Amino acid sequence: MCPPVHFGVLYEINPWMHKEVVVDRDRAHEQWKGLVATLRGAGAEVVVAEPDPAVPDMVFTANAGIVNCRADAPHQFVPAHFRFPERQPETEIFARWFAGQGFTVDRLPVALAHEGAGDALPFRGSLLSGYRFRSDLPATAELARLTGAAVRAVELVDERLYHIDLTFCPLDDRRAMAAPMGWDRYGRTVVEALVPEPLWLTDDEALAFSANSVVVGSTVVMATTPPRVGRQLEAWGFDVVTCDVSEFLKAGGGCRCLTLALDVSLGGPPRSPARPPEPSGVTTG
């Protein structure tokens, strides 16, 4: 995560951003600290990157790039290539940060845009990737080549839901929140086939940033919790925590955009392969 020291709505690169809307930076700082405390309380370890005055949207670390902590190879980081010049300096800032943490930094071809984990979410062995507004479709093939991930690309169709992490939220290995309004008919069939137990979000729930939630173990941290969504998550055994990030919604980002998961492994063998329990007293053959 990256503290909102230089955060503001200083330009408009998504439909939620309006330059005339003033960000209350003290309030943003309180909200950000509240999110950090909530994530830590849920059991997450939070590592903080130093903010840079040149890039007010650097708080949205989900877009930094793709993290791939493989068990059998050096940890890998593929820095984002931002669509808009306003965010482009973040590429080198984050590449340096990850290199400093011992990651191997692998680059996408310069001509292709891809906005990192904001447009690519691992779920059940696939990397569900969004393209159109911020990421280019050919970048997903490059990501597959660089990371070994099985990439499934879906086209985003509503510019208010301009990143895939505004339309999809993995909850555990069978369940995910999913906002069909964000995809075309083909994308919907991809997600239907991928998710055994989906929580389909209505358009209003999607536009309230419900899919942009952070999941830490069995805790789901959400910017707003529509009652129906909260009930379903609780029925599934999740603890739901609502975390006010209203200052960041002014820039079109919710809870998840403010984080980048580092415990991610794509392709190759999983880091801690789940093993079925040994059957006891049962003989076969």
Candidates 1, 13, 78, 113: give the one binding ligand ARG (CB under 6 A).
13
Q: Which is nearer to ligand ARG, 68 or 259 (CB)?
A: 259
Q: Whole-angstrom Cα distance, residue 221 to residue 189?
A: 27
- Looking at the annotation, which residues are catalytic? 163, 257
* Segment lying near ligand ARG (by CB under 6 A), choices 105-113, 141-149, 150-158, 250-258: 250-258
Distance (Å, whole) CA 217 – CA 84:
34
Please pick, from the candidates 64, 257, 264, 266, the single residue that binds ligand ARG as defined by CB under 6 A.
Answer: 257
Q: Residue 104 pairs with which residues in a beta bridge?
A: 76
DSSP letters for 97-111: HHHHTT-EE----TT
The torsion angles phi and psi of 15, rounded to 5 degrees, stand at: -65, -10
Nearest CA-CA partner of 58 in 248, 223, 213: 248
Name the phi and psi angles at 284, rounded to 5: -120, 165
Closest separation in Å from C-beta 225 to ligand ARG: 18
CB 2 within 8 A of CB 49: yes
Rounded Cα gap, residues 74 and 239, in angstroms: 34
- The two structure tokens encoding residue 12: 């408009």
Question: Any contact of residue 90 with ligand ARG (CB under 6 A)?
Answer: no
Q: Is 79 in the site for ligand ARG (CB under 6 A)?
A: no
Q: Give the shortest CB-104-to-ligand ARG separation in angstroms.
A: 23
Nearer to ligand ARG, 212 or 225 (CB): 212
Q: CB of 72: closest distance to ligand ARG in angstroms?
A: 29
For the CA atoms of 156, 162, 166, 167, what is the dihedral angle to 10 degrees? Answer: -10
Residues 137-196, interacting with ligand ARG (CB under 6 A): 163, 165-166
Task: Based on the shown chain and the rule CB under 6 A, indicate whether residue 251 belongs to the binding site for ligand ARG.
Answer: yes
User: Applying CB under 6 A, which part among 45-53, 59-67, 179-187, 216-224 lies near ligand ARG?
Assistant: 59-67
Question: What are the phi and psi torsion angles at 167 (to 5°)?
Answer: -120, -10
103 sits near ligand ARG (criterion: CB under 6 A): no
63 binds ligand ARG per the rule CB under 6 A: yes
Q: Which residues bind ligand ARG (CB under 6 A)?
A: 13-14, 17, 57, 60, 62-63, 87, 118, 163, 165-166, 251-253, 257
